[in-house]
Amino acid sequence: MTSLPPASDVKLGLVIDLDICVGCHACVVNCKEWNTAGYGAPLADSNPYGKNPSGSWLNRIHTFEAGHGAEAKVVHFPKSCLHCEDAPCVTVCPTGASYKRAEDGIVLVNEDHCIGCGLCAWACPYGAREMDPAEGVMKKCTLCVDRIYNTHLEEEDRIPACVRTCPTSARHFGDLGDPESEVSQLVAARGGFDLMPEQGTKPVNKYLPPRPRQSVTADEVDLVAMAKKTTPGGFWKWLDQSLDRLPG
């Protein structure tokens, strides 16, 4: 079995804001595109438009309905490898294919050493690993290790593909081992939490909870009064005047 390295001071990971994730799947698509053309073997995508599509995805979004009545809400929950400090997927690997980097805490798979036994997938409590049906080896989020250290890319692009493409900035990347980093301060300010902490895996990635909804009564919002108080300008003034000139 594979041993874990000593805990590193640098803990690179993601912080995902569940309050503003809209479930658009842009991060999922860009992750698939980058990792198919970049690090490791391409991700399988068999019969994608048929009745029985199959393939590998390193990032998925699950959508849930939560709460009741006025408190009901839809939560989009992105899920990928959490790069756990105490990663059971590493310690269960019989060939050393799964390993954790000592320098930054990223968990990776050496595909040349992977025999496709699936033990790491069984050991991962988050379901964050997928067997590639074409390659017969295990796939997982690499935190875009081939981007974040790539000096040939512009500095703004040296972040994971999912973070770079998120249209609402719901995903953040940084060093969660540094309490002064932007991601660590964001977690502290918003009450970021671990996924399934009872598993004892110490995931590096954190989630920011949805904010409480502000209650607004009907008396507080008078759309007619708001319209009367508002004088349109620019394009809206022109449109208002044009509509007034239309024959009744």
Is 90 exceeded by the pLDDT of residue 169? yes
The whole-number pLDDT of residue 53 equals 78
The whole-number pLDDT of residue 223 equals 65
The predicted-structure confidence for 6-38, as pLDDT tens digits, reads as follows 988 999 999 999 999 999 999 999 999 998 876
| Half-sphere exposure in the Cβ direction for 58 (13 Å, CA) | 30
Average predicted confidence (pLDDT) for the chain: 89
The whole-number pLDDT of residue 13 equals 98
- Indicate the pairing of strand 12-17 with strand 206-208: parallel
Domains of the chain by start residue, with CATH: 12-208 (3.30.70.20)
The whole-number pLDDT of residue 218 equals 56
Cα separation of 206 and 195, whole Å? Answer: 7
Q: Which residue has the higher pLDDT, 204 or 228?
A: 204
The whole-number pLDDT of residue 216 equals 58
Contacts 24+ apart (CB under 8 A), 92-101: 92/1, 92/2, 92/119, 92/120, 92/122, 92/123, 93/1, 93/2, 93/119, 93/120, 94/1, 94/119, 96/2, 97/137, 97/138, 98/2, 98/138, 99/2, 100/4, 100/5, 101/5, 101/8
Secondary structure tally for the chain: helices H, strands E? 8, 11
Are 31 and 140 in contact, with CB atoms under 8 Å apart?
no
The whole-number pLDDT of residue 72 equals 84
The predicted-structure confidence for 179-206, as pLDDT tens digits, reads as follows 999 999 999 999 999 999 999 999 999 9
Alpha helix ranges (H) inside 166-204: 182-190
| Least-confidence region, from 43-52, 59-68, 78-87, 108-117 | 43-52
Instruction: Write down the residue that tokens 């949805």 correspond to.
Output: 210
The whole-number pLDDT of residue 158 equals 97
Report, as an integer, the average pLDDT of 121-134.
Answer: 92
Structure tokens at 7: 């805990």
pTM of this structure: 0.82
Is 70 exceeded by the pLDDT of residue 46? yes
The whole-number pLDDT of residue 133 equals 86
Is 80 exceeded by the pLDDT of residue 95? yes
The whole-number pLDDT of residue 229 equals 66
Most confident of 122-126, 216-220, 222-226: 122-126
Question: Which is nearest to 86 in space by CA: 169, 7, 184, 192?
Answer: 7
Report, as an integer, the average pLDDT of 57-68.
Answer: 91
The whole-number pLDDT of residue 114 equals 95
Cα separation of 98 and 2, whole Å? Answer: 8
CA 37 to chain centre: 20
The whole-number pLDDT of residue 110 equals 94
Is 90 exceeded by the pLDDT of residue 220? no
